Amino acid sequence: MPLVNFYKYKKIFITGHTGFKGSWLCHILKTFDVEVTGFSLPAVEKCHFQSCATKNIVNNVIGDINRYAELEASMRLADPDIVIHMAAQPLVRLSYDRPIETMQTNIMGTANVLASALKCSKKPLVACITSDKCYENLETDKPYKETDRMGGHDPYSVSKGAAELVAASFAKSFFVPEKQSILTLRGGNVVGGGDWSRDRIMTDVVNALADQTSPVIRNPSAIRPWQHVLDVLNGYLVAIEYMGRQQKGRFEQFNIGPKSNNEASVGVLAAMACSAWGGKLQPEILEKPTDLHEAKLLKLDVSKAAKILNWSPKYDLRRTVEKTIEWHKAELAGSVMSEFTESQILEYFDGERANA
């Protein structure tokens, strides 16, 4: 059944809606006729949320998931059918500078969201968005399955592994016994138009190309599971629909990653972006790489999502890069980016709407 038929007219509460993926999700749900309440810290000055005037299409609540009473009151008032928890401190390198903030937000913030959802009258389904970094990464060629051990080297990765354990504890202790469903969703490295976050490879590449300079790349050999923002959000929505159609409370975890041919090095991705941009600029390698630990190899096994959800990503790596560059070129040309974002969404979900 098309996704739009499941989501139409539902009430959804999103934490972190001012973030990159959160803002894109709000625009997707707008095309599905969903009533969205977003709860998040204020948006930064330059971001997808600001460029696309996302506050105009949601019930926009500025708040902090670390403040339980404020969060719980907002969620009760929204009376959601579904809660999608995306708020986080999302950057690996920043977690070295702000380890306590990272742990507080990503671990206790998750606990606050889950505890708030237990107080809602509709007993909403809760989807916690974590990360592929939640796994204890041994940096082997073996893709990680949902049953593999949680872990992490840097504070960010540890916080995401711990958030998974928090969700599992709430599921076993409170949600499933009360016939309320919960799932965790682990995406790969997401790229797409409108992400200007620091220390993101596509952000650095696009900013450099827009300034007509060569992008400077660190860790060019590091391999990541790259995926377009629409692919990963579609995967989230398919998983939530699957859980929402169950007759009793359940707990599930899914990797929502790209196909294996989207796993590529940072250097390959940067060169592909330069090619898609056009011109003669090529990446330059940073001569003195940082001494901060960053994983060199990380792969996801998405066979569970393929088997149970009948889901697979639509965009290969080249298409992923091209759609990202298209968005940023449109933004530089002065396009109305809310409309351009919607055009990319409608193109992506064209088959869903045709069958609705």
Per residue, what are the HEC states of 242-267? HHHCCCCCCEEEEEECCCHHHEEEHH
How far apart CA 232 and CA 300 sit, in angstroms, is 13
Q: What is the largest CA-CA distance in the chain?
A: 60
pLDDT single digits (tens) 9-53: 999 999 999 999 999 999 999 999 999 999 999 999 899 999 999
Pairing of strands 11-15, 35-40: parallel
Q: Following CA atoms 155, 159, 162, 164 in sequence, which dihedral angle do they give, to the nearest 10 degrees?
A: -140
Q: Domain locations in the chain?
A: 9-190+228-256+301-315+337-354
Confidence of residue 252 (pLDDT cuts 50, 70, 90): very high
Q: Which residues pair with 251 in a beta bridge?
A: 182
261 pLDDT higher than 90: no
Contact partners, residue 149, CB within 8 Å, separation at least 6: 135, 136
Terminal Cα distance for the chain, rounded: 8
141 pLDDT higher than 60: yes
pLDDT of res. 92 = 80
Contact, 120 vs 76, CB < 8 A?
yes
Query: Span 179-201, mean pLDDT?
Result: 91
Residue 297: DSSP 8-state: B
* SS3 state at 213: coil
How far apart CA 178 and CA 220 sit, in angstroms, is 48
Confidence of residue 354 (pLDDT cuts 50, 70, 90): very low
Residue 183: DSSP 8-state: E
pLDDT of res. 351 = 58
Quick one: CATH architecture of 9-190+228-256+301-315+337-354? 3-Layer(aba) Sandwich (3.40)
How far apart CA 91 and CA 81 sit, in angstroms, is 30
Backbone angles phi, psi at 245, to 5 degrees: -95, 0
Contact, 182 vs 241, CB < 8 A?
no
